[in-house]
A and B are shown apart, each in its own frame.
Chain A
């Protein structure tokens, strides 16, 4: 050590300066890191609460499994069973399938090696442990059944399907990347004859969050036919041409195709290229491919029935005429912007695009079968409609290895329900499961024409599935709710009506079969029909007078039902200022077939919801307050009390005690829980409500979005629905719930909420997230969702059925204006959610990114309160879709509309701050917190009982505080030493 005081002085001066700078940095870091604390906590998995459980806690939700191994084993078999009953056999020429044991396969396409197990995005599941096609075939057919050279070739050929990136991805990234035929060397080709029983072709198309599938991108024409991802590309066509030639030469005996996609390929090729069999398998999940192999081997008799209309021309549907994101023509006037992901510029505006559902109710089979009927009956200006050139396989289609015959079809009117009965005989030689599908037809009357009520030729209204041994007959009894026969009349009655006239019920093996039965009952000209019908399988029920009162009140809540979406209908929304849409009507098919709709922003549209200016948003908030909370008085808040959330675990939502509980919570705790719900809920210490973790579905528990792993990965939702087996769905729902029940993070915080299931519909085959949605049919979606949701919640996990609502595409998803009429909204797009909430008891939904008309869905009072609470009686919380940085998902508007929880952080968006003396806002905030508390208190998070919840300063934050303190001491110390040293130096001088 130097004895030189001058040097010492310099040392202390340097140390003082250094520590002072560090101190300043750490002091500045405190508020900055506090601002982003939720994000940092989530990223670090930091502990933010300490839950001291109640030693006398009642355990509400026990696992049904003795061990995790038992659960895993059951789940693997369950996934297999779902695929086994969901996969649909579409083509089976000359009974190609089933194949005998020992069959030798040569797999074709890079996707045979690289199967599609699920979609991408938040619902992505890990395929690390998934079963390969080769492994599955060997299990079902024996060792050495798969051409290993071919398998090795695909493993190393360097060709692989490319998905769009999950974050920041776009349509142009999709690639099929099939192996060009010339890559198959002579040496490889010489192995084929040894494995020539079957050329097994896998055609896979991936879909994912954030990017719809390209349906005609010019820049992709190099890679795809017409830039269309769902058509076979040149390399695939080459492959089929060569395979047909090789089959003719005897190298291959059969060509079997597996359609491994939830986005239906354009099936204009299945009658060509010598294809012998086609099996649709969707996305197969972790073990589903085992069941596919079992179907090929005949160990499972296929019983899946497709849940979409499979087309020969995917662009033929009216919905495709307005699919995508269309920019308002004058958007630049308003300085609009859009974002596809929340990392994109423009995320706080999201007001550039629109889409118009000009097809009305005519989506999927509702279009194809209805126009077909009108063509056959020569009505409705159906034109020279050629059903067979559009439709490859109708909705509900699926073959079996046996045949089934119907008899004794009966329908009995039982008041509010119909009892439908039919005998089904297995006329073949093997046992098989069969789904009875009941369809109805509602009369299309002059009243309907006058009041723009549209009617589909058939609608699915009931189903059941049973195993029927060969040669035996099973009796099916199916209850159909009369309520399901209603139509929504948005012009005159402005509620649900039951038309006067003749109704038909029928049992059909698919939707087309059903229409043909009804056509025969109507005495249609068979020469104009495609396929045959059986009039004996129909029943006619007549209603003498139009009923516009019985269904004008909610069967769940008793509250009146009337129009709530006039602001989403361009023909009714006065802000559209003369911009109208011609909806497709069956009274004039040709004259009203949709064209691309062009729209401009009007000043009123801007003021009503498209605005991104704070002043504009404030004006909307004020309008909402006066409209929805006109008489609000300041509620009690932050009241001292001893009630805890644990005491409310079994309380009904309408129990008046809730008000006392919620009144205990101070404003800051309420906004904290509302604001910061990114994959979790914040603890609310004032009522002992623990924070929880929420995670993604819907194929199963998955943390992929936050970089984590997934538990059991089930099939895509369409395969689930295609089982038509409620028992399987119920078992799956319970197992998904079990996976949540078994999961905890490092701090012991439970996972008690699932972002799923998805209940939007397949409006077109090109939506990126079709794998997360059940079907093109909203009613079927509702039936499946009801069972799944009830089962998940049975295990103590609250659901957020997503994406509520009209979020049936990914392009422009953030803030796109979605325009539709109320009949279509209610009869198609809300039905899946209605099933989840009304019939399944679903406690929550996830609102969608898009706008309904010009209003963000979470701020649409009609949607979030009118439908969810008043009509359906939802009791728990509605969360937003990911709201990070998305300022247009305004907290004030949301809570006033009925939105409860935001899947994001308050950073830069905390618009509820400072409003703690606003009666309307505080009341809305309390409502939101009550809904959140209801969901959590009715979940397995309450297994802690009347716990004490203590907020914990996370370790990183504590470290920062300590560091700051230490630096302060250090700076002071160094400064003191500097002074002392200088004084000494002076003294010495």
Chain B
């Protein structure tokens, strides 16, 4: 019996120690020079109470951790208590046991004052840790319009640091939410997976790669999207790129998997292995009008992906690391881009490896070329510094194998056609509409006299 009592005592001590762990001594920095200079005129004490609330949301890799709602009770006894509900965790269980619900995240006092002649609520709140240390102190003033009070509340994301965000709080006298659970009910959200026609899953790391019908790939960690990419599929293979870089897909029968390393802070990473048990069950992505054209471009030896979006008003956006606003003209299947806005004239300088002319393919891929010219019924496409392709759009005919030289001033084009044998039937087209010498004006080529 004595032993049992002793053990009970020890257990109690352990519990007590548990409470003490992580507690530091109270720190109250003594500073000077911050006495009130605009103290509000204090209103007589009242038995009023108010409740204000607000929601903070942001997009990004860590949205589920950042998105929060706050419930601030300004109690009749002059205390102010602000609860935090991290609704981005998708947990709507009762507040008492909900790990996403933090009671008294911020606390302090409040009173009715008149500041600079305007009646308002002065709210002094801070983060107070278990040892009673205060940080992130703030004095805020809530002003009333038509019975509703509001103010901007700064809340610490990491208590004790300036990692803060602002949330607009508003509310009225008395309680809008009678209980914390009512508040949770009002702010809870349900996770809706992005539209998809299939997915790859990493159950261990709670990661999902959603395949969307338009060829977009979305990588999620839990509820947060942290990367996106592209996917395409042929009958028995699937190709995937993330952030413009191709990733290797491993196939084992119908099972496909790929790895992706997510960098959290440059030194810490999470290594995902996304698996799809049967890719035959997934349809190939549709190609829509809004799907950007993509091409692999060489940035000084490094392959990256350029994305081109064309608008019907003649503007375009070329994305290579950053967005380059452009205008475009179309010559046959080739679009010719002109940098616009502040980048006018500089696009080629900024990204020297990136072409300003592209052949557009039906599968929304594109191929960079040097230039293209309307040449009567033909389109002359300069593929590189030597080779050229000739297209006859009316009949959907085209032939490679041409070579060319362009004069230094860019106004005279000399074309050498391949042998008749190589030209084949296209030889008749070239004989009728082609020529060796052309005069260039803009993107128009005229047979030289």
Contacts and interface: CB of A to CB of B under 8 A. Distances in A.
B162 A329 contact: no
Interface in A73-125: 75-76, 121-122, 124
B33 A711 contact: yes
Interface in B7-43: 7, 10-11, 13-14, 17-18, 20-38
B264 A155 contact: no
Interface stretch (A523-531, A660-668, A856-864, A957-965): A957-965
B27 A45 contact: yes
A348 B24 contact: no
A167 B62 CA distance: 14
B24 A44 contact: yes
B267 A75 contact: no
Interface in A119-162: 121-122, 124, 126, 128-132, 134-135, 148, 151-152, 155-156, 158, 160
Q: For B129, B265, B352, which residue has the most chain A Cβ atoms within 10 angstroms? A: B265
A151 B267 contact: no
A705 B162 contact: yes
A155 B120 contact: yes
A148 B117 contact: yes
A887 to B, nearest CB: 6
Contacts of B32: 68, 71-72, 75, 711-712, 738-739, 742-743
Contacts of A155: 118, 120, 141, 143
**Max chain B C-beta neighbours (<10 A), residue from A44, A347, A703, A969:** A44
A176 to B, nearest CB: 16
A701 interface: yes
A349 B137 CA distance: 34
A349 B351 CA distance: 23
A954 B156 CA distance: 25
Contact of A158 (B138, B150, B156): B150
Interface stretch (B82-90, B298-306, B419-427): B298-306
Contacts of A708: 29, 135, 137
Contact of B23 (A168, A956, A966): A956
A129 B321 contact: no
Interface stretch (A337-345, A480-488, A511-519, A942-950): A337-345
Given A218-B325, A286-B37, A596-B346, A329 B161 contact: no
B267 A887 contact: yes
A216 B21 contact: no
A59 interface: no
Interface in B137-164: 137-139, 141, 143-145, 150, 152, 156-157, 159-164
B255 interface: no
B349 A596 contact: yes
A549 B212 CA distance: 72
A72 B351 CA distance: 57
Nearest to B145: A156
Contacts of B163: 166-168, 343
A419 interface: no
Interface in B151-194: 152, 156-157, 159-165
B133 interface: yes
Nearest to A710: B34
B397 interface: no
A165 B164 contact: yes
Nearest to A79: B33
B350 A596 contact: yes
Contacts of A156: 143-145, 150
A961 B3 CA distance: 24
Interface stretch (A626-634, A744-752, A820-828): A744-752
Interface string B47-78: 00000000000000000000000000000000
B266 A739 contact: no
Contacts of A956: 21-24
A348 B265 CA distance: 8
A344 B37 contact: no
B223 interface: no
A452 interface: no
Contacts of B263: 337, 345-346
B302 A330 contact: yes
Contacts of B150: 156, 158
A967 interface: yes
Interface in A658-712: 700-701, 703-712
B367 to A, nearest CB: 20
Given A333-B300, A706-B135, A710-B34, A955 B25 contact: yes
Contact of A160 (B17, B131, B136, B152): B152
A963 B10 CA distance: 11
A54 B3 CA distance: 49
Interface residues of A, number: 97
Contacts of B301: 330, 333
Given A158-B150, A704-B162, A966-B13, A337 B29 contact: no
A129 B122 CA distance: 12
A196 B18 CA distance: 66
A908 interface: yes
Interface residues of B, number: 78
Contacts of B23: 44, 955-956, 959
A47 B25 contact: yes
Contacts of A652: none
Contacts of A709: 29, 31, 34, 137
A126 B3 CA distance: 57
A885 interface: yes
Contacts of A346: 263, 266
B341 A959 contact: no
B313 interface: no
A131 B38 contact: yes
B207 to A, nearest CB: 16
B31 A129 contact: no
A348 B263 CA distance: 11
Contacts of B133: 44-45, 746
Contacts of B290: none
A330 B21 CA distance: 50
B37 A45 contact: no
Contacts of A129: 34-38, 139
B96 interface: no
B171 to A, nearest CB: 14
Given A349-B266, A973-B10, A955 B159 contact: no
Interface in A339-383: 339, 343-349
A486 to B, nearest CB: 37
Given A155-B118, A596-B346, A973-B10, A706 B160 contact: yes
B265 A743 contact: no
A974 B3 CA distance: 10
Given A46-B24, A710-B34, A337 B302 contact: no
A707 B266 contact: no
Contacts of A580: none
Contacts of A746: 25-29, 133
A187 interface: no
Contact of B162 (A45, A707, A747, A977): A707
23 contacts: A43-B161, A44-B25, A45-B26, A47-B25, A71-B32, A72-B34, A75-B32, A129-B37, A132-B115, A155-B141, A165-B164, A167-B157, A167-B164, A286-B33, A332-B302, A333-B300, A343-B265, A598-B352, A708-B135, A709-B34, A742-B32, A751-B29, A973-B10
Given A124-B162, A967-B14, 15 more contacts: A1-B4, A41-B24, A129-B37, A130-B37, A134-B117, A155-B118, A329-B299, A330-B302, A337-B263, A346-B266, A707-B136, A707-B159, A713-B33, A713-B34, A742-B30
Which 10 A-B residue pairs are closest in the complex by CB-CB distance?
A44-B24, A712-B33, A45-B27, A330-B300, A707-B135, A746-B27, A711-B33, A128-B139, A46-B24, A332-B302
Interface of B: 3-4, 7, 10-11, 13-14, 17-18, 20-38, 115-118, 120, 127, 129, 131, 133, 135-139, 141, 143-145, 150, 152, 156-157, 159-165, 263-267, 299-302, 304, 321, 323, 325, 341-342, 346, 349-353
